[in-house]
């Protein structure tokens, strides 16, 4: 069939919708186009902290995360102005909190932003050395399709319970990027984690120049994952917030707040 007559008929004013119908169609289309970005943005997880539950210092929806044979940080949810923020005190210790995602975080929300503050950096930290890889503040994003570790499989949990042992809270398997407030390397540096072949360290802040004040960060997780691992991200399985001074035996304090996933983030250079 020759398509040209059909095109001519479509363009013929007498073949178009009546004015009322055409106006309604245009209005519906405009409303859809106006609302759709907001709808998509609303689907991105907001990890901001809310009022703490009585008797608990772990933010609602998060889990306390500790590590075997390591002293624990003092972790608390505190109010600063009108906002709740996570406060971590670390002295020759390491621990934090973890937020899991059943399945993965939405693929159309690769932007990830937060703000953080430290009282000082870990002065003896050298991030690429296994015995000095400490950081005043660390935001760990774990990428993968499983939000639970093998130790948290229901069969394993029941077996441990039968032995009178609680199944530990553990990070899920997968690849990870640690965003650091570091000391020994300039911002923008990407390092291999000296303790894990499946994790990279990305230095965002260094030293004490910005210590004592809030600093905002914004990352494109898809870009960062490709830069670190040369492939597309499999999605986010968990986010971990912590400070660690277990190697250097120093004392630091850190604060975290306003964590959220967003739509595609703009390209950023220099690791910032």
Residue 4 pLDDT > 60: no
pLDDT of res. 177: 98
CATH class of the 47-262 domain in this structure:
mainly beta
Rounded to whole angstroms, the Cα distance separating 97 from 255 reads 12
Q: What radius of gyration do the chain's Cα atoms show?
A: 24
pLDDT of res. 22: 57
Query: Looking up tokens 């002293």, which residue turns up?
Result: 71
pLDDT of res. 206: 96
Average confidence score pLDDT of the chain: 81
166: confidence class by pLDDT, cuts 50, 70, 90: low
Q: For residues 122-136, b (16+ Cβ closer than 10 Å) or e, as one string?
A: beebbbeeeebbbbb
DSSP letter (8 states) at residue 15: G
* Most confident of the ranges 4-8, 141-145, 266-270: 141-145
Stronger pLDDT, 257 or 267, i.e. the higher one: 257
Query: Looking up tokens 């919708």, which residue turns up?
Result: 17
pLDDT tens per residue across span 189-247: 999 999 999 999 999 999 999 999 999 999 999 999 999 999 999 999 999 999 999 99
249: confidence class by pLDDT, cuts 50, 70, 90: very high
Query: Looking up tokens 């230095």, which residue turns up?
Result: 203
Query: Looking up tokens 């621990």, which residue turns up?
Result: 95
DSSP letter (8 states) at residue 266: P
Rounded to whole angstroms, the Cα distance separating 73 from 255 reads 13
6: confidence class by pLDDT, cuts 50, 70, 90: very low
Contacts of 135 (CB under 8 A, 6+ apart): 122, 125, 127, 178, 180, 181, 182, 183, 243, 244
pLDDT tens per residue across span 20-33: 555 555 555 444 44
Tokens of 99: 């937020």
43: confidence class by pLDDT, cuts 50, 70, 90: confident
9: confidence class by pLDDT, cuts 50, 70, 90: very low
Rounded to whole angstroms, the Cα distance separating 96 from 134 reads 14
Determine contact, residues 84/76, Cβ cutoff 8 Å: no
Determine contact, residues 147/172, Cβ cutoff 8 Å: yes
pLDDT tens per residue across span 80-135: 888 899 999 999 999 999 999 866 677 788 999 999 999 999 999 999 999 999 99
Sheet holding 83-91, edge to edge: 74-80, 83-91, 251-262, 111-118, 215-220
Span of 1-5, 98-102, 145-149, 151-155 with lowest mean pLDDT: 1-5
E-strand ranges in 74-197 read 74-80, 83-91, 94-100, 111-118, 135-143, 175-182, 190-192
Beta bridge mates, 135: 244
């Amino acid at each position: 069939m020759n398509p040209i007559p059909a095109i001519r008929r479509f363009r013929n004013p007498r073949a178009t919708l009546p004015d009322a119908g055409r106006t309604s169609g245009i209005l519906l289309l405009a409303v859809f186009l106006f609302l759709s970005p907001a709808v998509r943005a609303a689907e991105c997880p907001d990890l901001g902290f809310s009022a703490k539950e009585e008797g608990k210092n772990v933010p609602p929806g998060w889990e306390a995360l500790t590590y075997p044979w390591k002293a624990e940080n003092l972790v608390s949810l505190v109010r600063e102005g009108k906002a709740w923020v996570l406060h971590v005190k670390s002295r020759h210790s390491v621990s934090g909190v973890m937020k899991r995602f059943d399945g993965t975080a939405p693929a159309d929300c690769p932007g990830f932003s937060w703000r953080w503050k430290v009282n000082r950096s870990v002065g003896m930290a050298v991030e690429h050395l296994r015995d000095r890889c400490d950081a005043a503040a660390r935001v760990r994003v774990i990428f993968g399709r499983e939000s639970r570790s093998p130790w948290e499989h229901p069969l394993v949990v029941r077996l441990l319970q039968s032995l009178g042992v609680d199944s530990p809270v553990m990070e899920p398997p997968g690849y990870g990027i640690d965003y650091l407030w570091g000391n020994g390397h300039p911002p923008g540096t990407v390092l291999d984690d000296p303790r894990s072949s499946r994790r990279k360290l990305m230095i965002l802040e260094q030293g004490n120049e910005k210590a004592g004040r809030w600093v905002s960060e914004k990352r494109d997780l898809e870009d960062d994952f490709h830069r670190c691992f040369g492939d597309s991200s499999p999605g986010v399985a968990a986010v971990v917030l912590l400070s660690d001074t277990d190697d250097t035996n120093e004392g630091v304090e850190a604060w975290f707040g306003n964590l959220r996933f967003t739509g595609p983030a703009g390209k950023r250079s220099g690791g910032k």
